[in-house]
Structure 1
């Protein structure tokens, strides 16, 4: 027999609990051990008047059944007073169910400002006031469950309810943000859109249907979402008449239009069927998911705009993503990308060197040759500039057969670079890439992309292997692959330690030099959607800092002595932070790791540079 879910020791506030849904929630929670604050102003369904009778009746029912409850008669606009009632009588607060509501239905052209304002203040503002007052207590104790009440009108709209539907959808948006903010403190926030008969639905549903939609069919879901065993947060559910269903957004794949070209209404009209085609939809669940197509289009068009302005071949528009095959990700092994040609010169090499911290001291004679083409010691190219070559074609990963994925779920795991000889100071190079391996890691797929770069004579100049981890497409039955090389650090103090203070605009500088114009490194709003409080440094920028440190301390700044470099990306770096690279020499190999001094966190691990002896 299933163990009964209990709420002993928990304290709950239920607003609008004088009847209907709120009463059902209060009775069920109290019957299972919760101490309940029964809040109800006692007004009419249109928000007029007030009486204590509604809340008192429910409290009497709870106490008669042996439960514990106290009445509160405040408006939800006085949320702090409702919360204080729980603290005064029961000493704590664990659960908040925002259920109070009224109706003032009328068509939009007849709606008055008073009709709008009254609905807003009870539903959305009231939900804010009660939850805002409760929030500090829930966070500080490391436990809380919050329920917002939306409706079908809020999710889909309904004639005559512009005020009500706006407020109800606003509550959903509030819940989603609070779910993101509260999760790490074990404060979970979910939303229900109930189908239940009450005095509020009497005006929009037939009487026989109202009678069939019992609030008792909604209350069990609310109780489950409020229980300590529930771990769901940020979710929305339609519920009623013995039916419970999660609701999520659905988005068509849409049409992509090349950036940097004149986008016209006619172009959109020509692709209108594609814009509205839900044949193979996506299901975004976060702002980062929402931005995913933007990232994809930037990868396809943005980098091309930048490099094209320097005289390179501009990549052609990417075809629409290919449908998955029967073999799934494994079908992508051996896939060859369309080759891309690019040109670079001393200006590009200088900009890259500055972007990875070279010549922070303009009088540094060892690094001035990397940024000044007339240097007396002769201009040189930093070897790690070659990690920028793959970006001329990396965007093609979004259209590889068998690799249907959300670009927001792609992570850059490791990077390996081998330079065959010192990079020429100017060149036209051709980049060719193929997917060499795809490993099934369960939670995702590890994709190894081999990129070979050739000069004008067809001789190989550099080789990159880009390790990409794509979350959410694992479990296809492929090989798990070899364990990652450990490269254990020597058990002794580092042979050299190099500190570099990054500038506040380091990320902006690097994105101009790399060809990767991901807004995560420039746009505060985009960074916030990714969970960062400001834009972060590109991982390959940190990679360049580390390579430069090894070159300085163990090769005298001579690029001819640099053969290869490998590292794993473990943490982000914020512009303005200090990168500390610790290095240990073992013959021609130099092991390294990089940390952020301010947070004492390793940001590059498993690092090794091989030098020419």
Structure 2
């Protein structure tokens, strides 16, 4: 059986040490399109080591992140789980920030399968990653939802209700984030080197007109847009950020982010205006400080 739920949930966490430098942070931010207006003092703080700020979504790639250890060309290699890579899809991502991420530092990262949900035609595997600094203080917790097509129907818990709607009023803010045609080529240097994001022939075999932008790049781009446009450029105000990946984006297209604010909760919807508002990120919420 490809998924042994009990074995997956009871396996001991894998633990590794990770470190990063200011260069890693700067490269990550450049991969999100930061620094285009290099004379803007606020923008320079994302890409220059003097007063360098760190987006909380850097947690996705710090020390290469949980996905680098979990997803390999051979498939999803986890205790109790043996699934062909072609069957899986990164369906959603959440992040909880416990403390500001330093511009250079180290962390002990623990990874485990936190849940396996039965969606009928698919299984959803929730990979949780927790990071602590050298003093044992929590830095961040992430949860990656991986959809495994054809692996459901085993009689397990269906998981939380996936329904979500944006407020029935105009958004409080709409933010535009143009991407460059080399955006994926830059972003992949920080994270996922999958040829889907670089090789036109490979992308066509996968059913795309050309290489697509990483979903986690869109995740970071939207987070930066909200920090810049709603949170006065202060990344430490982000407490949580969760999304569902709803559609692909081609490098060179724009991400348009609509934001509705209700106290310390932001509802977010990211779409592509060049393709008639096709959704990119949905079911998106951000809790702020």
Check whether TM > 0.5: yes
**1:491, CA displacement in angstroms?**
1.6
CA-to-aligned-CA distance 1:239-283 (integer Å, 9 cap, x gap): xxxxxxxxxxxxxxxxxxxxxxxxxxxxxxxxxxxxxxxxxxxxx
Matched, 1:603 2:259: no
Residues 556-565 or 400-409, more deviating: 400-409
User: Alpha-carbon deviations, 1:271-327, whole Å to 9, x = none?
Assistant: xxxxxxxxxxxxxxxxxxxxxxxxxxxxxxxxxxxxxxxxxxxxxxxxxxxxx48x7
Q: Note the residue ranges of structure 1 that are not aligned, 5 or more in a row.
A: 1-323
1:427-446 alignment to 2 at 5 Å? 427-446=105-124
Q: Is residue 162 of structure 2 the alignment partner of residue 489 of structure 1? A: no
- Kept after mapping to 2: 8 A contact 1:343/1:429: yes
Give 1:558 shift. 0.8
The SS at the match of 2:14 is coil
Q: What secondary structure does 1:544 align onto?
A: helix
1:385 is aligned, of 52, 55, 58, to: 58
Determine helix, strand or coil for the equivalent of 1:332. helix
User: Secondary structure at 1:393's aligned position in 2?
Assistant: helix
Contact 1:330–1:438 (8 Å) recurs in 2: no
Cα gap change, 1:336 to 1:524, in 2 (>3 Å): farther
**Cα displacement (A) at 1:336:** 3.6
1:517 aligned to 2:193? yes
Residue of structure 2 in register with 1:351 after alignment: 27
Partner of residue 89 from structure 2, selected from 411, 431, 442: 411
Structure 2 SS opposite 1:580:
strand
Structure (1 or 2) with the greater strand fraction:
2
Question: Which entry has the higher C-alpha Rg, 1 or 2?
Answer: 1
Match of 1:448, SS? strand
Q: Which structure's residues are more often helix, by fraction?
A: 1
Structure 1 position 383, deviation (Å): 1.3
Question: Counterparts of 2:70 and 2:136 in 1: how far apart (Å)?
Answer: 21
Is the 8 Å Cα contact of residues 98 and 139 (structure 2) preserved in structure 1? Answer: yes
Residue in structure 1 matched with residue 8 of structure 2 by the alignment: 332
Query: Equivalents in 1 of 2:170, 2:154: separation in Å?
Result: 44
Which has the bigger relative contact order, CA under 8 A and spacing at least 6? 2
Gaps of 5+ in 2: none
Partner of 2:265: 589
1:566 lines up with 2:263 in the alignment:
no
1:496-554 superposed Cα distances (whole Å, 9 cap, x missing partner): 1111111001011111112x111111111211111001110000100111101111122
Distance across 1 between alignment mates of 2:67 and 2:120: 27
Alignment map for 1:75-154 (pairs within 5 Å): none
Partner of 2:10: helix, strand, or coil? Answer: coil
Number of aligned positions between the proteins: 283
Deviations 1:55-96 (A, max 9, x none): xxxxxxxxxxxxxxxxxxxxxxxxxxxxxxxxxxxxxxxxxx
> Which one of the candidate residues 565, 580, 583 is aligned to 2:256?
580
Q: 1:498 aligns with which of 151, 168, 175?
A: 175
2:133 corresponds to: 455
- Residue correspondence of structure 1 range 222-301 to structure 2 within 5 A: none
Q: Residue 335 of structure 1 contacts residue 400 of structure 1 at CA under 8 Å; is this kept in 2? A: no
User: Following TM superposition, by how much is the alpha carbon of 1:562 offset from its aligned partner in structure 2, in angstroms?
Assistant: 1.4
Aligned to 1:553: 229
Shift of 1:607: 1.0
After superposition, the CA RMSD in angstroms is 1.7
SS at match of 1:366: helix
Structure 1 runs of 4+ aligned residues shifted over 6 Å read none
Q: CA deviation at 1:485?
A: 5.1
Q: How does 1:5-16 map to 2 (within 5 A)?
A: none
TM-score normalised by structure 1 residue count: 0.45
Q: 1:390 to 1:402 in 2, by over 3 A?
A: closer
2:144 is aligned with 1:466: yes
1:328·1:476 contact (CA, 8 Å) conserved in 2?
A: no
CA spacing shift, 1:411–1:404, aligned 2, 3 Å: same
Verify the 8 A CA contact 1:444 1:470 in the aligned structure 2: yes
CA contact (8 A) 1:567 1:606 kept: yes
Shift of 1:330: 4.3
Structure 1 Cα separation of the partners of residues 12 and 113 of structure 2? 7
Q: How far is the alpha carbon of 1:334 from its aligned partner?
A: 3.2
Say yes or no: does 1:367 pair with 2:23.
no
Partner of 1:316: none
The 1:428–1:609 alpha-carbon spacing in structure 2 relative to 1, beyond 3 Å, is same
Work out the CA distance in 2 between the residues paired with 1:357 and 1:564: 22
Deviations 1:176-221 (A, max 9, x none): xxxxxxxxxxxxxxxxxxxxxxxxxxxxxxxxxxxxxxxxxxxxxx
Shift of 1:394: 2.3
* Aligned residue among 100, 123, 135 for 1:422: 100
Instruction: Measure, in 1, the Cα distance between the counterparts of 2:10 and 2:270.
Output: 33
Whole-Å Cα distance in 1 between the matches of residues 6 and 151 of structure 2? 11
